[in-house]
Chain A
Amino acid sequence: MAGDALRIDGLWKSFGELDVLRGIDLAMAEHEIVCLIGASGSGKSTLLRCINLTDPIDSGRIVVEGREITAEGVNVDVVRRRIGLVFQSFNLFPHMSVLDNVTLGPRMALRRSRGEAEEQASALLERFGLADKRREFPDRLSGGQQQRVAIVRALAMDPQLLLLDEVTSALDPELVAEVLNVIRELAGQGMTMLIATHEMGFARDIAHRIAFVDEGRILEEGPPEDVFVAPVEARTRQFLQRIIEAGRLQV
């Protein structure tokens, strides 16, 4: 049911004078995939950062699996353990091997033993075709490999919700597919995902629902076939028109 996995009510967030999020309402069911689309600066990334409690919110509430995570006295570290966040710029730890990058969270935050964490990490790396990179350092990997490691690092925490923040925007064009394929595989396994993306074709394929974010609000949301094919709002039409003109979406 919508709202089981994530429910956001009236979320406001401003940086000084600038209102970045102006009353976001969003509900997600278990195993649902929602793609956030919209221009740069519309608030997609900020929304994801708020859900991960990276940025404190000004008002509204965020409920994950029935528990309000924005309530007073909630341990943010405990919340973050169950909400994975993957960044546009990977943010791997450059002084650690791939294996250590993946095991750091489980060992520190979940207090798993090194052996247990490495066993689990190795299995995950194997699954995503990175087994031979276990001992490598991030700067020896391609951008696509780095981003796959970053996704594995988030998965190692067994998140109930995965937030993906424009994870292919910093990649060479020929490396985008390998990362999108990883996300497709996760979708196939029923991972609940909230994805901010500029890859419209991918969003149309994978999303159960599309939410168009404009000036800090969700202006329009619905199944991809509605939003992409017959958008109701003028601003959505305008945005999609520009995307189509840029050759980023075929209709």
Chain B
Amino acid sequence: MSGPVPGATGSVRADPARPPPRRAARYDARSLAIAAASTAIVFAAIGLVVVNSPGWERVQRSFFDWENFFESAPDIVARFEVNVRLFLIAEVLILFLGLILAVLRSLPGPVLFPVRLLATMYVDLFRALPGVLVIYVLGFGIPGLRLPGVPNDPFFWGVVALTLLYSAYVSEVYRAGIDSIHPSQAAAARSLGLSQLQAMRHVVLPQAVRRVIPPLLNDFIGLQKDTVLVSFIGVVEVFRQSQIRQAATFNFTPYLATALVFLMLTIPLARLTDWLVSRERDRRYATSVRAAGQRARRGAGGVR
């Protein structure tokens, strides 16, 4: 009567060479098919409702005029170059200035209090102000002073305004990254005789920056979109260009073209951000699982 009890665990153990169950894979394929079918049905239903609703023709004429679309698209795509240039120049400056601000705010010691205070004031100020306001004040206000040697090119002031605004946000992202690195890392670097700045440069920042790449990319999606604000001070970029076309034809389709251009740029960047976030999470999860395994083994060793 005391023989092995037949049961689930017993049978699994009895045959270690048994192949793993295929149920999971079959389930995956089936749920994929269901998801595809239900998505197709839902979207088709939405499409039918929209196309058959009263006033759809007027909407179509005003927003989805394909002739107008193909006429204005080349202009709009060409003008997008101005936004890309704005974005690229501002982004480099923002990454640089934001990092400097974050490092200044992270420096310890009473002597450096005014430095920290100034950096904090800067961040508080430019995070609080509406972007359009800063762009207006710089783009119209400063050229209006007619100071000798000061440029009055609106593109220049657009870059300056976006850099001031976004470096405040980005410095906070960097600072969160710096704060997330355990102080023992800086302590280890300092114990080797590295100076405060060397420890920051070689030990803390490389780890901090790696950690904040996803939130940085997120801010840059915002920056890409905010490049259109520069149109308010007279830069003819993609939004201004579509406005010009819209005014000429009384048709809103040029805005659709502009919207598509932005979608094509920001959606891949958003997916890249998601991918980086999930990779970072997997990496940390793997590390914590390994640590837990080590702890468990240590616990078992103690019992032995």
Interface residues of A (CB under 8 A from B): 52, 54, 77-78, 80-81, 84-85, 87, 89, 91-95, 104-105, 108-110, 139, 143, 153-154, 157, 172-174
Contacts and interface: CB of A to CB of B under 8 A. Distances in A.
Interface in B262-304: 287, 290, 294, 297-298, 301-302
B192 interface: yes
Interface stretch (B90-98, B139-147, B198-206): B198-206
B191 interface: yes
B193 A172 contact: no
Given A93-B203, A95-B207, A172-B301, A85 B184 contact: no
B206 A95 contact: yes
A199 B297 CA distance: 20
Nearest to B290: A139
Interface in B127-160: none
B106 interface: no
A89 B191 contact: no
Nearest to B188: A91
Given A93-B185, A108-B193, A109-B192, 12 more contacts: A77-B193, A80-B190, A80-B191, A85-B191, A91-B184, A95-B210, A108-B198, A109-B194, A139-B290, A154-B191, A157-B192, A172-B294
A174 B304 CA distance: 12
Shortest beta-carbon contacts, A-B, top 5: A105-B192, A109-B193, A81-B193, A91-B188, A85-B191
A93 B185 CA distance: 7
B194 A104 contact: yes
A242 to B, nearest CB: 17
Contacts of B195: 77
19 contacts: A54-B190, A77-B195, A80-B190, A87-B184, A91-B185, A91-B188, A93-B185, A93-B203, A104-B203, A105-B193, A105-B194, A108-B192, A108-B193, A108-B202, A139-B290, A143-B294, A154-B191, A157-B193, A173-B301
B184 A89 contact: yes
A40 B267 CA distance: 54
Nearest to B209: A95
Contacts of B194: 77, 104-105, 108-109
Nearest to B206: A95
A87 B188 contact: yes
Contacts of B184: 87, 89, 91
B189 interface: yes
Contacts of A93: 185, 188-189, 203, 207
A81 B189 CA distance: 11
Given A91-B184, A93-B203, A143-B294, A104 B189 contact: yes
Interface in B194-251: 194-195, 198, 202-203, 206-207, 210
Contacts of B207: 93-95
Contacts of A108: 192-194, 198, 202
A174 B301 contact: yes
Contacts of A95: 206-207, 210
A68 B202 CA distance: 30
B301 to A, nearest CB: 5
Contacts of A52: 191
Nearest to A109: B193
A172 B206 CA distance: 30
A175 to B, nearest CB: 10
Most chain A C-beta atoms within 10 Å of own C-beta, residue among B194, B207, B302: B194
B302 to A, nearest CB: 7
Contacts of A143: 294
Contacts of A172: 294, 297-298, 301
Given A95-B210, A104-B202, A173 B193 contact: no
B259 interface: no
Nearest to A172: B298
Nearest to A54: B187
A92 B185 CA distance: 7
B191 A173 contact: no
B111 to A, nearest CB: 15
A153 B210 CA distance: 24
Nearest to B286: A139
B187 A91 contact: yes
Contacts of A154: 191-192
A105 B184 CA distance: 16
Nearest to A107: B202
A242 B4 CA distance: 45
A68 to B, nearest CB: 18
Nearest to B203: A93
Nearest to A156: B192
A93 B186 CA distance: 9
Contacts of A81: 192-193
A104 B193 CA distance: 10
Nearest to B287: A139
Contacts of A89: 184
B254 to A, nearest CB: 48
